[in-house]
Structure 1
Amino acid sequence: MAVPKKRTSISKKNIRKTFWKKKKGYWTTLKAFSLAQSLSTGNSKSFFVQQIQTLE
């Protein structure tokens, strides 16, 4: 027979939620940095950056 589980406390729920948000923010930051790095070196395959020609 199935028995209902005890309810998770609000503080425990909040701790898990903030940990998940921090983890998600970390990966988003890492992706953004990686994209910026590839754009600056010109190795990006997902963005097409128009090169500005300077008169020398």
Structure 2
Amino acid sequence: MAVPKKKTSKSKRDQRRATWRRKAAVEAQKALSLGKSILTGRSTFVYPSKEEETEDEE
């Protein structure tokens, strides 16, 4: 017979949400930092430009 599971406590729920939000904030900060470095030209990140993409198609 089916038995309902125990209710998750609010503190456990909040702990999981805090972890998720912390991970999301770190990733957002990394993306912003990368975007800023690309715009200033100080980046060592290599990304394809539009000219390179059109040359490959020809």
The bucket for the TM-score relative to the shorter chain is 0.5 to 0.7
Local SS of the residue matching 1:8: coil
- TM-score normalised per structure 2: 0.65
Deviations 1:2-55 (A, max 9, x none): 33211100110010011111100000000000000000008886xxxxxxxxxx
**Counterpart AA for 1:37:** S
Q: Which runs of 5+ in 1 are unaligned?
A: 46-56
Number of paired residues? 45
Aligned-pair identity in percent equals 31
Q: After the TM superposition, which residues 12-51 of structure 1 pair with which residues of structure 2 at under 5 Å, given as runs?
A: 12-41=12-41
Superposition CA RMSD, Å: 2.1
